Structure 1
C-alpha cells in the first residue's frame, strides 16, 4: 500500500472510551472507508448487555465482530487475515500490548497500514518529552516501530487533550483543574489565559477517518491535529454564558501543580498521570505553528466548536 485507500479495516479497542468515537466516525464516513470494516473484541465485551446497543448499531451498518483474546497470537493472526489496515484504539493501560500486535502485523501477509493508539498528548513534542512518565509506553511502541517494523506503514494521529475529558473536575484531583456544572465552580491552573490546543472526542474520530481517506498524505506520518486552541478562561466564559450565572473560581498555580504531581508519583498514585498531563498542557505542550488539519482536507469550520462541547457538559451528557 502506497497511496491506495484501505479496503478492509480492522479496529481494535472499538468499544473503549475513545474507540467508540473513532469507530462511529469510520463506520459512518461518506464516502465509505473500505469495503469491509471489522472490530476485534473479547467474548466478554461481545456479550456484555451494556455494549449491545453500540454493537447492534455497527452491525446494522455492515460491521463484522471478531471475538478473541488480544493476548493470544493465534486469535490476532486470525483477525488479521484479509485485513490491510489496522486501527488501534487501545487505552493507556494496554498500550504496551501494541508491540506484539505490530510484530504480528509485520509477520502477516495482509496488513499493510497500522494506526497505533497515539491519540492524545504529543510524546515527542520537545527534548523533555522523553522523560515524562506517562509517555513511556507510547515511546516504547514508537521505538519498536522505528527499529523492527519495516514492511507495515504506520500513521500516528496526535490530537492533544480531549476537551470533553478536560472539562471534568475530578473529586480526587480538584487542584488539577476542571469545571463542575452542578456547583457552578471551576478550578483553573495558572492564570487561565494560557492557550491550550484541544480536540473534542467526536473530532478525534473525524480526524482519524480523514487520515484513512487521505493515504497519500497520511502513510508513514506523524499527524498533529486538533479542533481548536482556546484558554481555560474562555471555557469558563462559555460555561457562564450557557448556564446564565457567574461561577465560583479557584486557581492552582503551576508551582503547586508540579508539587502535587511529584507527591502523587512518589506515592505511586494512579492519578499522578493526570497531574503530569495537565501540567504539560498548561505549559504550552499542545501548541503548534501549524497543524495537519488542512493536509487532511479539514477546515476550522469542519471541527466542533467550543460551545457544542460545553453544551453537552451542561446537559450532563458527558462522554
Structure 2
C-alpha cells in the first residue's frame, strides 16, 4: 500500500540528469526525513567539490559499488524510496538493484528507474528500437519479478537543453550553433516534439514524490512544452536579434544516416535513432500526465527560458554520447 515517501536514496546523482534531480530534491529537503546519494569511490575522488557541496546541503553521501549486493543492501537501510539516474551504460544494472530491494529490503517501498526520456513503449515498433533495449529489459523484469516494491516511470521526452545545442560531431543529426548563427533542422521543421528541460525533470520527479498514490505503478508521461524546430529557430533569431542560416536533414536522410551509423558502430547511432523517433512523432500522446501530479504550465520552463539559457552559454556543445 502506498505511503508517504519520506527518505530518498539517489543513484547517479552527479551525472547528466542526476545533478538536476538532486538539486530539486534539496530545494524540497524540508519534506524529507533523509536524503542521500550512493556513488562510486572514483566519483568521490574526482568530484570533490561537488560532493562537498552536497554534504553542506545536508545530503548524506554513501560510497560503494552499485554492482555489489552487500554495498547496496547496506545503503538501502533506512530508506523507503530509491531514485535511479544512472546513465545508459548502467541501465541493466538496475535489474539487480530492483531484485535486492524486492527480496532483501522490505523498507524500500518505491523505485524510480532511470527512464527520463523517450517513451520506450510508445507503439509496436518501440520494442525493436535499439536504444530502448536496456530499459525494456528493466520493465520486463518489473512486470515478471516485482510484486511488493512499487515503481514509477517518469517519461519526460527528450531534454530540450541538449537538442538545442551545437552538435559539431555531426550537425546533420540536428544542431543549433549560437556563435555561427546557423542551424540544421530535422524533417520539414514543422514536426512537433514534446520536450522537458533538465531543470524541470527534477521538478517533475519531486511532484511525483509529492503524489505517491497517483504515481504508483505507472508511467507518468510529462513534459515542459511542445514545439517544432522552426519555432526553436524563430526563438533563437528573436533572442540573438539575427537571421540564421538554415539547412535541413529530411526524415529519409536521417534514417539513412542512422543505418550507416549503426553499421559502422558509430557512437552517434543512438542519437540518430532517438532523433528520428522524435521527428516521427514519438513524443506526442493524446494527453500528458502533468496535471495528475499537480504540475501546471506556469510551474515549468518555457521555450524562451530554455533558449535564453542556451544563448547565455554562447555556443556550448550539445550533449552527444548519451543523448536521451
Provide TM-score, normalisation by structure 1.
0.96
Q: Is 1:8 matched up with 2:7?
A: yes
Correspondence for 2:42: 44
Alpha-carbon distance between aligned partners in 1 of 2:87 and 2:124, rounded to the nearest angstrom: 25
Query: 1:47 Cα shift?
Result: 2.5
Query: 1:181 Cα shift?
Result: 0.5
Alpha-carbon distance between aligned partners in 2 of 1:251 and 1:169, rounded to the nearest angstrom: 15
Alpha-carbon distance between aligned partners in 2 of 1:224 and 1:53, rounded to the nearest angstrom: 34
Correspondence for 1:101: 97
Which runs of 4 or more aligned residues in structure 1 lie more than 6 Å from their structure 2 counterparts after TM superposition? none
Q: Map Cα deviations across residues 67-118 of structure 1 (whole Å, 9 max, x no partner).
A: 0011111101101111110000001111010011111111123211100001
Alpha-carbon distance between aligned partners in 2 of 1:296 and 1:253, rounded to the nearest angstrom: 37
Correspondence for 1:74: 70
Q: What does residue range 255-266 of structure 1 map to in structure 2 within 5 Å?
A: 255-266=252-263
Structure 2: 5+ residue stretches without partners: 320-324
Q: Is 1:246 matched up with 2:243?
A: yes
Structure 1: 5+ residue stretches without partners: none
Correspondence for 1:272: 269
Alpha-carbon distance between aligned partners in 1 of 2:28 and 2:246, rounded to the nearest angstrom: 41
SS of residue matched to 1:216: coil
Contact 1:5–1:34 under 8 Å retained in 2: no
Alpha-carbon distance between aligned partners in 2 of 1:33 and 1:234, rounded to the nearest angstrom: 38
Query: 1:169 Cα shift?
Result: 2.7
Alpha-carbon distance between aligned partners in 2 of 1:172 and 1:260, rounded to the nearest angstrom: 13
- In structure 2, relative to structure 1, the CA distance for the partners of 1:33 and 1:123 (3 Å cut) is farther
Alpha-carbon distance between aligned partners in 1 of 2:284 and 2:37, rounded to the nearest angstrom: 33
Alpha-carbon distance between aligned partners in 1 of 2:142 and 2:171, rounded to the nearest angstrom: 37
Alpha-carbon distance between aligned partners in 1 of 2:99 and 2:17, rounded to the nearest angstrom: 24
Alpha-carbon distance between aligned partners in 2 of 1:165 and 1:127, rounded to the nearest angstrom: 27
SS of residue matched to 2:172: helix
SS of residue matched to 1:315: helix
Correspondence for 1:132: 129
Alpha-carbon distance between aligned partners in 2 of 1:3 and 1:137, rounded to the nearest angstrom: 27
Correspondence for 2:322: none
Question: Alignment length, in residue pairs?
Answer: 315
Aligned mate of 2:85, from 82, 89, 112: 89
Q: Is 1:170 matched up with 2:167?
A: yes
Q: Map Cα deviations across residues 251-289 of structure 1 (whole Å, 9 max, x no partner).
A: 011000000100011111111000000000001000112
Aligned mate of 1:202, from 186, 199, 202: 199
Cα root mean square deviation, aligned: 1.2
